[in-house]
Amino acid sequence: MRAMYFEAFEATPDVRNLPDPTPTEGGVVIKVEATGLCRSDWHGWMGHDPDIRLPHVPGHELAGTVMAVGKGVRRFREGQRVTVPFVSGCGHCGECRSGNQQVCEEQFQPGFTHWGSFAEYVAIDYADQNLVHLPEAVDYATAASLGCRFATSFRAVVDQARVTGGEWVAVHGCGGVGLSAIMIAAALGANPVAIDISDEKLDFARKMGAVATINARNVADVADAVRDITGGGAHASVDALGSPVTCFNSIKNLRRRGRHVQVGLMLADHAAPQIPMAQVIGHELEIYGSHGMQAWRYDAMLAMIESGKLAPQNLIGRHISLDEAVPALMAMDKATDLGISVITRF
Ligand SMILES: [Zn+2]
Ligand SMILES: [Zn+2]
């Protein structure tokens, strides 16, 4: 198979031929039809993720067709259209048995703990517990774009922040995660406020449902600006970027008893950011993480996509080839692209 491959962190990956994978007893091999390019892939390539062992094939947001099935797999067969959460649960640990596969103790993550989907084929373990059947109405590129950013945002807004109609939701950072969170909050009837440093991204955020925008470069204090717009602070707030500044602002701009959800990754130098803990106590704020979404919760998200309430395909910026993905991956931290890049040619 053709695959993107690197033997050292921060070294230019190459696209080369590697042996085709074979399924484990409980796993499948998927022919990758589409796979999203994500900032987490950049973190992995930089060496920020301790799960990655070299040499490595990145890629964790995928959709495709089942090509080979392990002996122990019951629910899936060759030819079926599927996608998979980027955190796949083992199915037997305590977290999995409580329905929280997204924090499984023995998780399988394509593109992190194992070789991923920047390749013609990818092996996925724990198939029965994690694969998701794709409705015919959802094309492969759209399904791949759900992979981590949209699904993680769905869990962040719906399950962690418990956003309801009429609430103010601040979203810090208008990349793939942030735009997804805005679209999902708007679909729930909430009022999303988008914050970024790019007017172009803020314009895009309005098209996705933001009712107000703040360019952080143009205000003295982002939290004050959010409080002004929302009449006292956001009910819920998402740090969709993952930086000490956006994390701090996302907590600071909450109203009393507000909920912050950290979705943007905080790795390496950013792993222990400053947070306004006095305000967390005095105002009884809630602070959550959101780490992917369990396969069984995809039903709710897919139903909203099929009904047209959510349109994740609108977040796709461009379709690229596997070769074009190499420079795109390396430039991910300074990406100015609007929307998500999806690899659809291998
Ligand atoms: Zn588990
Ligand atoms: Zn991702």
126-180: pLDDT as tens digits = 999 999 999 999 999 999 999 788 999 999 999 999 999 999 999 999 998 999 9
For the cut 80, the answer to whether the pLDDT of residue 257 exceeds it is yes
pLDDT at 335 over 70: no
What's the 316 CA to ligand 2 centre distance in angstroms?
Answer: 13
Identify the sign of the CA torsion 262, 263, 267, 269.
negative
Measured CA to CA, the distance from residue 309 to residue 148 in angstroms comes to 19
What is the whole-number distance in angstroms between the Cα of residue 331 and the centre of ligand 2? 15
User: Which H or E run includes 205?
Assistant: helix 199-207
Residue 332 has pLDDT above 90, yes or no: no
Position 147 scores a pLDDT of 79
Q: What stretch of H or E contains 282?
A: helix 277-282
Q: Kindly identify the ligand whose nearest atom is closest to the C-alpha of 130.
A: 1
Convert the pLDDT of each residue in 179-224 to its tens digit: 999 999 999 999 999 999 999 999 999 999 999 999 999 999 999 9
Contact 180, 142 (CB under 8 A): no
User: Ligand 2 centroid vs 224 CA: distance in angstroms?
Assistant: 31
Distance 180 CA to ligand 1 centre (A): 27
Q: Report d(CA 138, CA 204) in Å as an integer.
A: 23
Indicate which ligand has the atom closest to the C-alpha of 145. Answer: 2
- Residue identified by tokens 């009393």 is 256
Residue 93 C-alpha to ligand 1 middle, in angstroms?
4
Nearest ligand by distance to the CA of 85: 2
The predicted pLDDT at position 338 comes to 76
What's the whole-number average pLDDT of the chain?
A: 95
Q: Which ligand is nearest to the CA of 125?
A: 1
pLDDT, mean of residues 260-269: 90
- Of all ligands present, the nearest one to the C-alpha of 147 is 2
The percent of residues in the chain predicted with pLDDT above 70, rounded, is 99
Q: What letter represents residue 211's amino acid?
A: V
At residue 244, does pLDDT exceed 80? yes
Q: Which ligand is nearest to the CA of 44?
A: 2
- CA 88 / ligand 1 centre spacing (Å): 8
CA of 40 to the centre of ligand 2 (A): 5
Average of per-residue pLDDT across 91-119: 96
pLDDT at 333: 80
pLDDT digits (tens, 9 = 90+) for 296-326: 999 999 999 999 999 999 999 899 999 999 9
Q: Are 235 and 169 in contact (CB under 8 A)?
A: yes
For residue 146, give every residue at least 6 positions away whose Cβ sits within 8 Å of its Cβ, in sequence order, or none. 61, 63, 83, 298, 301, 312
Q: Which residues surround ligand 2, an ion (CB under 5 A)?
A: 38, 40, 61, 148
Q: What is the pLDDT of residue 148?
A: 85
Summarize the confidence of residues 24-40 as an average pLDDT.
96
Q: Nearest bound ligand to CA 36? A: 2
Q: What is the pLDDT of residue 153?
A: 96
Q: Three-class SS of residue 54?
A: coil
Measured in angstroms, how far is the CA atom of residue 147 from the centroid of ligand 2? 6
Strand (E) positions, 187-339? Answer: 191-196, 212-215, 234-239, 254-262, 286-289, 316-321
Question: What separation in Å is there between the alpha carbon of 245 and the centre of ligand 2?
Answer: 21
Centre of ligand 2 to C-alpha 60, Å, is: 6
Confidence (pTM): 0.92
Cα(329)–Cα(209) distance, rounded to whole angstroms? 28
| Residue 336 buriedness (CB in 10 A; 0-12 / 13-18 / 19+) | exposed
